[in-house]
Structure formats: structure tokens, C-alpha cells
Structure 1
Amino acid sequence: MKRTAGCYGVTGVLNAAWGATLPATDARLDLGPGRLGVLLMALALGALVAMPIAGRLADRYGGRRVLVWSLRAAAPAPVLVAAAPSYGVLVGAAVVFGVLSGALNVALSLQAVGVERATGRAVMGTMHGTWTLGAVLGGALATVGLRGGLEVRVVLVLLAGALSVAAVVMTRGLPSPQVGDARGHRGQASPESAERGTKLVIALGVVGAAAFLTEGAATDWAGVHATRVLGADPAIGSLVYTAFFVAMTVVRFVGDPVRARLGPTATIRYAGAVATAGYGLVLLSVVAPAAQVGTAMAGWILAGAGMAVVWPVVVSTLGSSGASGRRLSSVTTISYGGGLVGPALIGAVAGQAGLPVALLIPAALAVVVASAAPVVLGRFVEGGTRGSRGGSRGQGSEQVGCDETGRPPAWVRGRSM
């Protein structure tokens, strides 16, 4: 478990190496919102191509091997961004970065679900909390470097070197927990139940996509919003990004007991409401009579706190149902696709109508998460509970911590069940 959490932490630092330095890279090459949108779209396309391929590779070679390969290859990728002398070369670097990140994110999801099944307890929030802790660390390092007068390319090279060493260390001795295979559950579900399950998986992926788009808007645009719209310097832009991930880190580390107490549906309902309030403050910061940056930072903090638990709840709910690796990778692809395409879409809208108008998109999706996601989660948990009751104790043991009745554990059902 510690090695897997370490891989999450390294990936968080890697994400920060991209996001926290993006305002400075924007200033270095004078990109602007339109070009930033194209850059993020290139990142998204690379990741979306890689994700289904990574799922197939994991089915063939095992999720552990894909995680080792992808993390060690992605760690030095910030050097590509640092070495880009022009906008065109930077777009190519973004594609490569996206391919490596896409494969890495699928492998991490499969590994985390396997760990949760092997240990029989809720750890998904802790895993993602470690990821955000890494993002906070990476954002803080980038901020310190930029505030200390280092050029952004030097900061990126230093981060790439540290990441490369950490990736090798964390992937040594990495365990190989198995993700359930749908073939092991033959005869447990009728064709109608299988079709219903597929629809729910797709719906779960859409929920994850909405959450990731809302989160990705902060990852890629919070710092740019502070610098381009509110007039802050690049170091303050990096600080806004870091504050967002500090909030996510704190909430994710307490997310597992909260979910165990409230259940997934209530947890996501409250999370969406908090994120909606946060985006409201971000939108109002433009017209705030004073402390515009402070108002926006408070909004991003609330948005981070609200979105912190959504993806851990989604992937843990899917994992507890005994879904196969292919289904897990499908939900991951749909969800991360929303998070990758969304910020690029925001960039396209920002280039035409301005960034404050474009941020209405994630604000609206936060409302969707608060209102629609609880319905999807409720149906998925209900369906998983009914489906698991038909299996024997031996079959139930393939799922995460199923009790003697074959039901999902209390941390999946919550007290409301």
C-alpha cells in the first residue's frame, strides 16, 4: 500500500510540474488564452489515445507493469516542456506528456482498486490525498523557485530530475494486487442485468467526467485567471494553484471516514454544493470591490474541497462492485477524458468570450454533480448490493471486503443504506 501511495504522490508532483508552471510558461512564450486552449487540447488528445491502450496492456501484462513503465517514462517529461523553444514545439511536447499521463492515470486507478480489494478497507481517499499532497509539494516547489528568481525552464528541469529518481524508488517492490475479472462471475447476472450494469458504468463515467472537468478547470486555469484576469504576478498564480490543492489534500485524507459515515450519495451531494459555492466566489471575484485575488483564492479553496472526494467515491464504488479491469479502465477513460478535454474547451471559449465567461462551464457542472451524481451513485450501490447477494461466500470474497451476507462493506453502503 505504501508503494502505491508513493506512486500517487509522485504523479501529483508531476501534475504540478505542468500546472503550477503553466502561467510562467505562458509568459515566457506569450501564448494567451487561445493558444493555451490548443495546448491543453493537444495534452487531452494524447491522453485519450493512450488510456484505452493502457487498459488493454494492463489486461495482458498486468496493471503493475503498466504502472512501472508509465511512471518511469512520464517522470522526466517536464524536460520536454522546458526545452520547447516555440509554441509549435510546445504543442508536440504536450502531446507526448498527454500520452504518458493518460497511461499513468489508468494504471494508477487499476492499482488502487486492487489494493482496496486486497486490504478489504476503504483507502481510495488516502491514495488520492497522497496525490494531492504531491501536487501541493510540487506547486510549492515551483512557487519557491519562481519567487527565488529561477527561470521557469530551470524549475522544470530540476523537478524532472527529482521525479525521475522518485519514480524508480517508488516502483521497486511494487505489489501486484489483482483486479477482478468479469469472467469469474459467470452466471451471476442476466443479460438484462448486464446491460443495466453497462449503462450504470457509463453514467458513473459521466459523473467522473463532470467532476474532472470541474477540477481540471482549477488545475489549468486557476493560476491563469489570477494573472490574466486579476492582474497578479506569475508567482501569485502558482500560489493560487497550490491553495486549491491544499484544500483537496486536507479533505481527501478525511474523505474515507466521512464517506463511511454518510454513504456515497450524501457525500457527493454535499461535495457538489461546496464546489458550486466556490465557483460562485471565483466568478464574483472580478467585480469584487477589494481583495479580488483573495476572493478568487477563497473560491478555488472551496472548489478544491468540494471536488476532493468525488473521483475517489466514483472509482471506489465501481471497484467494490467487482467490476473487471476493462470496465475500470472504461470509466477512467470517460472520466479523465472530461477532465482533459474540459480545460481545453474552456480555453477555446475564453479566447472568444473571455475567461470569466468560460468559467461558467465548470460552475454549471458543479451544480450537475450536486444534483445528478447522487442519483447515479444511489442506483449503482443499490444494483451492486442486489447483485452481490446472489453469490456464494467464495464469490463474494473477490470483491472489496464483502461481509458474510455477500453485501458490499459498510464503507460502501454508508449509514443511509
Structure 2
Amino acid sequence: MWAASLPALDERLDLGTGRTGTVLLLVSLGVLVSMQGAGRLADRWSSRRVCLISGPIAALVLLGPALAGSYGVLLACAFVFGLGLGVLELAMNAHAVEVELVYERPIMSSFHGMWSLGGAAGGLLTSAALRGGLGVGTLLTITAIAGAVLFLLPGPLLLHDRTSPKPVEAKSAERRSVGRAAVLLLGAVVFAGAIAEGAAMDWAAIHARRVLEVDPDLAPLAFTVFSTAMTVMRFLGDRIRGRLGATRTLRLAGSLAASGYALVLIAPLTSGASMALAWAGWALVGTGLATVVPVAFSSVGASQEAAGRALAMITTFLYCGLLAGPAVIGHLADLTSLPAALALPGILAVFVALAGPRAISALLPTRPHQTPVPTPTT
């Protein structure tokens, strides 16, 4: 709801691309700052308790940006909003790991698919509410209060007992320790994909409004198209990777995302079909980028016995790109133009297509086109 409401918030406070980028940067900084302590809180209190507390709080702090009456107030509220999001983000993922251990099959991708489904639903609700005449401040206020209540509903179903890690089974001789260079290369690929994803999340709707000049109530649909495509592909991603293998899946992912950004960039040059062409582009971007992170995590986990440090490094690259990317796009757009700025994630998508397979091959030298898929436990 926050991302889909950005065009209307931009118009209400007359922010412009540069100041909008600063707002997004402060949200990102808040997330990064709070994540540093959220891990220690989860270890001390359990991820369940941190989820129960941080969920409603993260929703309620959205009241700050919703009611901000000036740019300065919005900056402070955006940072506080980011603090709440950071704690919740870490707690949800930590609890998802514990749930996956109990469930005894890989389901993390489905959790991220549900996150994308929520993004698509938020975009549709925002578009409908704005089209019905609801102001952006009122909309985000309702979202904050309703979100706080909704976070309370699944609380009793969360795991009560901490899950002890299961004994690590003996790995085959084919699995070897991954060199730092290979992990850094894959981290760079994830970083590039995260910037491309973040650009689509926070700038698709603004691009539709400012560059394509569509009506304010239709602008959020650009984000909705992207989010819906990503959601569908995240639910299908494991099956596709099982058929194509990790390297070819990553090559296809980068190629689709790069093609999507190309369509977005040429959309303003067409007459009459610019919005449809942009929607097709955002759909391709979402379809491609949906599989980048799952493939990266799976490849690191399958390549070595002690994958903890490597996964932590990849996750750091992911969040830095995902959170800082939109702000970089905003300031680059302020210096040039928004279409010119969106050329950057398109170029980075090409990097994913070219460097991604090489990174996977370095991680899994014995089976460069196949990442082992765990067998479900019955």
C-alpha cells in the first residue's frame, strides 16, 4: 500500500523525483539500522515474540507518513517507518526458517510468493480507493489501523517452541567449500537484481503518472502488474528451475527482465499503446526477477556444507540493493530524467543474465546446469 500510494503522496506534498528518492532512502536507512539489533532480539526473545510485537507496530508507524503535512515531517516519519519494517522483516524471515524446519520441506519460496501476493493486492486496493475519491492520507491511515489488527490474527498459530536445528547429514564428495570470489560474484548478481527489483517496486507507478501521464487512479496498476507477475513466477519458480537447471534459469531471468525494461523505456515513444507496452514491460521484469534470489540461495546452500556465512553475505548484498536502489534511481532521475534513470536497472538485468550463470557454474562445478532439488518428506 505504501509503494502504490507514492504517486498520490508525491502530488499531495509536491515532492518531485529527487525528494521522493530521499524519502525512500530514509526508509531504507531505517530498515538497515533496525535490522542490526533485530537479530539479537530474535535470539534473546524468540522470533515468534518479535513477530507478535513488531507486526502491529510496523503497521501503526505508517500513520506518520500518512499524516505528514510537510516534507521535513515526512522525512522523519519515513525513517521511523523504516525502523518498524526492518524489525518485522528480519523476524518474519527468522520465523519462516523455523517453520520450514518443522514442515520438513522447502517452502521459503512460497512465503515470498505470499509477500508478492500482498503487494499485488495492495496495488489493486490503492487504485480502487483513489479512483473512488479517497485521499491518500485517509487511505494510509486506514491501512495502518487495519494492518495492525490483521497482524494480530495469525499470532496464536505461530510456533511456540524454538526449533532445534536437525543434525547435518553427510554431504557427497562433490560438494566443496565455495571460494570467496565465487560468492562475491553471486552477491554482485543478487545486488544487481535487487536494484532492478527495487526500481520496479517504487518507481513503476510514478513512471506511469509522470512519464506516461496516465490518470492518478490508474498509475498504481503499473506496480500491480509487476507484482502480480512476480507472484505467479515465485509460485512456479521451483518447478521451472527443476526443468531448466539453475544456470539456464538465471540466464532466462536476466534476459526477461532486461527485455521488460527495454519495453518500459520505449513505451513513451509510442502513440496510443504506451500504457499497454509499459504494462507488458513491467510484467516481464517481474517474471524475470522473481527467480533470481531463490536460485542464488539454493545454489549456495547446495554447494557447501557450511553455507551460513555465504548465505549471510548474499543476504547483505540483497538488502543493500533492494533498499538503496530506489533512492539511487530517484536522485539519478533528478539529475537526468526518470526514463534515463530506469536504463540503469535494465543494464543491471543484462549483467544478471551474463554473470549469473558464470557464478552458478563456479558454485556447482560438477553439475553446472542443475541445482539439487530436495525431496519432500511424506
**TM-score (ref. length: structure 1):** 0.80
- The residue that corresponds to 2:345 in the other structure is 362
- Residue 410 of structure 1 is matched in structure 2 by 372
Shift in Å, 1:382: 5.0
Superposed CA deviations along residues 25-64 of structure 1, whole A, max 9, x for unmatched, are 0010010011111111111111122223323333444333
Deviations 1:293-314 (A, max 9, x none): 1111110111011111212233
The answer to whether residue 315 in structure 2 is matched with residue 332 in structure 1 is yes
Q: What does residue 376 of structure 1 align with?
A: 359
Offset at 1:19? 0.3
Counterpart position of 2:297: 315
What do the CA deviations read for 1:212-255 (whole angstroms, capped 9, x no partner)?
21111011100100111111122111111111111111111111
Q: Counterparts in 2 of 1:293-312, with a 5 A limit?
A: 293-312=275-294
Q: In the aligned structure 2, how far is the partner of 1:75 from the partner of 1:119?
A: 28
Deviation at 1:177? 6.3
Q: Give the match's secondary structure for 1:18.
A: coil
Q: Is the 2:299–2:371 Cα contact (8 Å) retained in structure 1?
A: no
Contact 1:208 1:311 in 2 (8 A): yes
Query: Which residue of structure 2 aligns with residue 391 of structure 1?
Result: none
Matched residue type, 1:36: T
Query: Contact 1:56 / 1:326 at 8 angstroms: preserved in 2?
Result: no
Cα separation, 2, equivalents of 1:63 and 1:102: 13
Quick one: structure 1 residues 338 and 283, their matched pair in 2 at CA, closer, same or farther if it must change by over 3 Å? same
Give the SS at the match of 2:217.
helix
Mark the CA change 1:266 to 1:23 in structure 2 (over 3 Å): closer, same or farther. same
Measured in 1, the distance between the counterparts of 2:361 and 2:231 equals 26
Residues 1:272 and 2:254 are matched in the alignment:
yes
Distance 1:198 1:117 in 2: 28
Give 1:94 shift: 1.1
Kept after mapping to 1: 8 A contact 2:65/2:74: yes
Of stretches 74-83 and 238-247 in structure 1, the one that deviates more from structure 2 is 74-83
Counterpart-to-counterpart distance in 1, 2:59 and 2:347: 34
1:16-165 correspondence runs (5 A): 17-165=1-149
The equivalent residue for 2:331 is: 348
Of 132-141 and 58-67, the range deviating more from structure 2: 58-67
Q: Which one-letter code corresponds to 1:376 in the other structure?
A: A
Aligned to 2:270: 288
Q: Structure 1 counterpart of 2:135, which letter?
A: E
CA distance in 1, matches of 2:7, 2:252: 32
1:214 aligns to what? 196
Letter in 2 for 1:373: G
Q: 1 or 2, which has the higher helix percentage?
A: 1
AA in 1 matched with 2:295: V
Range with greater deviation from structure 2 (216-225 or 89-98): 89-98
1:241 matched to 2:223? The reply is yes
Equivalent runs, 1:174-193 vs 2, <5 Å = 174-175=158-159, 178=163
Give 3-state SS (helix, strand or coil) of 2:60's partner: coil
Query: Could you tell me how far apart the structure 2 residues matched to 1:172 and 1:346 are?
Result: 41
Work out the CA distance in 1 between the residues paired with 2:349 and 2:212.
Answer: 23
The structural deviation recorded for 1:131 is 0.8
Contact 1:126 1:256 in 2 (8 A): no
Question: How is 1:167-178 mapped onto 2 (pairs within 5 angstroms)?
Answer: 167-175=151-159, 178=163
Shift of 1:353: 0.3
Take 1:266 and 1:103, find their aligned partners in 2: how far apart are those partners?
A: 35
How many residues of Structure 1 are paired with residues of Structure 2 in the alignment? 368
| Code of the aligned partner of 2:48 | R
Q: 1:200 to 1:174 in 2, by over 3 A?
A: farther
Distance (whole Å) between structure 2 residues aligned to residue 311 and residue 341 of structure 1: 17
Is the 1:55–1:329 contact (alpha carbons within 8 Å) kept by the matching residues of 2? Answer: no
CA contact (8 A) 2:246 2:371 kept: no
Gaps of 5+ in 2: none
What is the CA-CA distance between 1:145 and the residue it aligns to?
A: 0.6
- Does the CA-based 8 Å contact 1:269-1:370 persist in structure 2? yes
Residues 329-373 of structure 1 deviation map (CA, whole Å, 9 limit, x = unaligned): 543232111111111011111001000110011101111111112
CA–CA distance in structure 1, aligned partners of residues 284 and 208 of structure 2? 16
Cα distance between partner residues in 1 of 2:298 and 2:94:
11
Contact 2:298 2:371 in 1 (8 A): no
1:409/1:240 CA distance change after superposition, 3 Å: closer
Taking the aligned partners of 1:69 and 1:40, their CA distance within structure 2 comes to 24
> Which consecutive unaligned segments of at least 5 residues does structure 1 have?
1-16, 386-407
Q: 1:329 to 1:50 in 2, by over 3 A?
A: farther
The alpha-carbon deviation at position 68 of structure 1 amounts to 3.1
Superposed CA offset, 1:87-134 (max 9, x none): 111111111121222232233333334444443433232111111111
- Supply the AA of the counterpart residue of 1:33: T
Q: In structure 1, the residue corresponding to 2:134 is in which secondary structure? A: coil
